[in-house]
């Protein structure tokens, strides 16, 4: 059933992790990640960070950050045609370190964006120096976000925090992670911010939520992400394929928007390579 | 067409979000289109109404002449009338299973009333379903936060009643290690999810105690069905086939 969609074989997954040792990838881990992705028609996966490092320390020190990013660089080298790396950072670190790591990972290393988790809240003014550096580079940021009825992390951002960041830095492209965590309230928070998109990952594939996001944001601001291996590629793809939106909108969400956002080609939302 | 039994479906209205496929007609159309051949359905309003009968009975009346639907009665064993009502569901509507929602109905799985419900299920030779959660706790209404039913307590209950067949509904992947400890306990996979969902579920529970569930109409059916279509890798095709229907039949019929 998954292979019945026109985008099959060209899909870009904007939100993946691995759980592996640091900093040297186990080739078997990466091959399993790619084999399962390929079976679902996913051509490229955006590796946001080795989750082992994030779980070890949400406010990772500089050495751990370096290891996480070194892992991503090695993973990209292992499968350059399939793995797109994002640079994992903690905005609380020194500007010197942030600059060096962006230089190492993006300018020289070929990563295509920045991933921020929950070390610093998106409203925190410590974000500003990093945001200015990212703006100069012209790459997007995938930022964790969730509205939780359960206790949340001390500095964890919710969608209103992401909206605040998006307003302060209108020239920076933000991708708010976890539509399933943002839900209706979170979509409304960012609805008037053209520089903020949402990825479709997070929680169970709640019926109607993709349609809601498309209605409020437009399909061009919704991008497929799975959060694999916490989630299942097939299930998270299923929520896009099941949504009552047009095939054209599905194609934008499954690959065209991601290609545009991470600079793989300006093709107006289609999936051509 | 291959049989596909959906062991976890609700029908009706839920106050915390709109459910598009909330009537038997809409639900059947949607599930049939997805290839489902039989659904075990419960009235979702029975979770919150003071007397579940006021939700169960209208639903069971509406689906009475339709073999597509297998009625599963949500029962609150703390109510004085529950045995009488359960007997009524069996006799009048051919109800095939009972479903408990301990967290919403305000009791513990360890309470005596649950042992009474298990005894009833044994006498009626029907499965006893226990709903662990209805939705992600992180998305609950801020004024109504309902913790999940501890999976370990369900396994303990099942071990205490080895001659009763139990079904855990709404489990997460992290619940499976506890649930696997009782050989008379099945799991439906609507909310189970991991890197390779079906592989992980079968590895935890064994090949015969995993059944398909979609948690419709809360979730996209096509998304839950995808668990059986991709990433099945190390699981033999006949095991996937059993998850589609045979395991549910064994759970239902014993």
Is the pLDDT at A114 greater than 80? The verdict is: yes
Question: Quick one: what percent of chain A has pLDDT higher than 90?
Answer: 87
Single out the residue of A122, A169, A112, A171 nearest to residue A144, CA to CA.
Answer: A122
Q: Which residue of B has its CA nearest to A184?
A: B17
User: A178 with A159: CB under 8 angstroms?
Assistant: no
The SS3 of residue A15 is strand
How many CA atoms lie less than 13 Å away from B79 in the CB half-sphere? 19
Q: Do B219 and A206 touch (CB under 8 A)?
A: yes
User: B40 with B7: CB under 8 angstroms?
Assistant: yes
Is the pLDDT at A270 greater than 70? The verdict is: no
Q: Do B194 and A1 touch (CB under 8 A)?
A: no
pLDDT reported for residue A193: 98
Return mean pLDDT, chain A.
94
For the residues A85-105, what does the mean pLDDT come to? 97
User: A69 with A114: CB under 8 angstroms?
Assistant: no
A221 touches chain B (CB under 8 A): no
Least confident of A43-47, A58-62, B248-252: A58-62
Q: How many CB pairs under 8 A join A and B?
A: 113
Report the phi/psi class of residue A265: left, alpha or beta, with left for phi > 0 and alpha for psi in -120 to 50.
Answer: left
At the second CATH level, the architecture of A2-261 is Alpha-Beta Barrel (3.20)
Is the pLDDT at A197 greater than 90? The verdict is: yes
The CA distance from A46 to A73, in Å, is: 12
Least confident of A18-22, A59-63, B71-75: A59-63
pLDDT reported for residue B155: 98
Q: What are phi and psi of A84, to 5 degrees?
A: -110, 125
pLDDT reported for residue A146: 97
**Residue ranges covered by each domain of chain A:** 2-261
Tokens (6 digits) for A144: 């964790």
Single out the residue of A201, A53, A177 nearest to residue A115, CA to CA.
Answer: A177
- Positive or negative torsion for Cα A184, A189, A191, A194: negative
Q: Which residue of A has its CA nearest to B216?
A: A207
pLDDT reported for residue A3: 76
Choose among B20, B21, B230: nearest Cβ to A234: B230
pLDDT reported for residue A60: 73
* Structure ipTM: 0.95
As for how many domains chain B has, the answer is 1
A248 touches chain B (CB under 8 A): no
Q: How many CB atoms lie within 10 A of CB A259?
A: 23
The neighbouring-strand residues paired with B70 are: B40
pLDDT reported for residue A7: 86
Is the pLDDT at A1 greater than 60? The verdict is: yes
Q: Which residues of chain B have pLDDT under 50?
A: none
CATH no. for residue B242? 3.20.20.140
| Domain enclosing residue B12, as ranges | 5-253
Is the pLDDT at A56 greater than 80? The verdict is: no
Q: Do A232 and B226 touch (CB under 8 A)?
A: yes
For the residues A62-72, what does the mean pLDDT come to? 95
Question: Quick one: what percent of chain A has pLDDT higher than 70?
Answer: 95
Is the pLDDT at A249 greater than 70? The verdict is: yes
pLDDT tens digit sequence for A142-183: 999 999 999 988 899 999 999 999 999 999 999 999 999 999
């Amino acid at each position: 059933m998954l292979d019945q969609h026109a985008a099959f074989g060209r899909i870009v997954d904007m939100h993946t992790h691995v759980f592996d040792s640091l900093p040297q990838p186990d080739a078997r881990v990466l091959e399993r990640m790619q084999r399962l992705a390929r079976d679902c028609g996913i051509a490229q996966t955006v590796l946001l960070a080795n989750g082992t490092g994030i779980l070890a320390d949400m406010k990772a020190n500089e050495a751990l950050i370096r290891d996480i990013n070194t892992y991503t660089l090695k993973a990209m080298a292992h499968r350059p045609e399939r793995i797109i790396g994002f640079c994992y950072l903690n905005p609380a670190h020194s500007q010197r370190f942030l600059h060096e790591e962006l230089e190492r990972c993006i300018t020289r290393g070929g990563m295509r964006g920045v991933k921020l988790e929950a070390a610093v809240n998106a409203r925190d003014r410590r974000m500003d120096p990093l945001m200015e550096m990212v703006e100069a580079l012209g790459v997007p940021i995938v930022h964790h976000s969730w509205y939780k009825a359960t206790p949340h992390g001390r500095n964890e951002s919710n969608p209103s925090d992401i909206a605040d960041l998006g307003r302060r830095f209108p020239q920076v492209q933000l991708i708010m992670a976890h539509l399933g965590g943002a839900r209706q309230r979170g979509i409304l928070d960012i609805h008037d911010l053209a520089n903020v998109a949402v990825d479709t990952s997070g929680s169970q594939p709640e019926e109607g939520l993709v349609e809601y996001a498309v209605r409020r944001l437009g399909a061009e601001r919704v991008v497929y992400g799975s959060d694999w291996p916490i989630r299942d590629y097939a299930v998270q793809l299923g929520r896009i394929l099941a949504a009552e939106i047009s095939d054209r909108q599905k194609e934008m969400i499954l690959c065209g928007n991601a290609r545009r956002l991470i600079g793989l080609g300006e093709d107006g939302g289609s999936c051509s390579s | 067409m291959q049989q596909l039994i959906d062991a976890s479906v609700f029908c009706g209205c839920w106050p915390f979000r709109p459910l598009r496929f909330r009537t038997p007609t809409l639900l059947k159309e949607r599930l049939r289109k997805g290839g489902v051949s039989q659904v075990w359905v419960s009235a979702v309003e029975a979770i919150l109404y003071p007397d579940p009968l006021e939700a169960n009975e209208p639903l069971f009346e509406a689906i009475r002449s339709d073999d597509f639907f297998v009625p599963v009665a949500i029962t609150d064993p703390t109510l004085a009338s529950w045995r009488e009502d359960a007997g009524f569901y069996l006799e009048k509507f051919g109800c095939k299973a009972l479903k408990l929602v301990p967290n919403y109905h305000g009791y513990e799985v360890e309470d005596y009333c649950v042992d009474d419900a298990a005894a009833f299920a044994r006498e009626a030779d029907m499965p006893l379903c226990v709903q662990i959660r209805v939705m992600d706790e992180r998305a609950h209404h801020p004024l109504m936060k309902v913790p999940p039913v501890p999976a370990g307590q369900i396994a303990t209950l099942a071990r205490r009643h080895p001659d009763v067949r139990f079904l855990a509904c709404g489990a997460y992947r992290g619940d499976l290690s506890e649930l696997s400890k009782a050989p008379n306990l099945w799991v439906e996979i609507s909310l189970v999810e991991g890197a390779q969902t079906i592989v992980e579920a079968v590895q935890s529970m064994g090949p015969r105690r995993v059944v398909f569930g979609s948690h419709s109409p809360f979730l996209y059916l096509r998304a839950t069905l995808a668990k059986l279509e991709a990433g099945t890798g190390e699981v033999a095709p006949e095991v996937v086939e059993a998850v589609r229907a045979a395991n549910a039949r064994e759970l239902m019929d014993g």
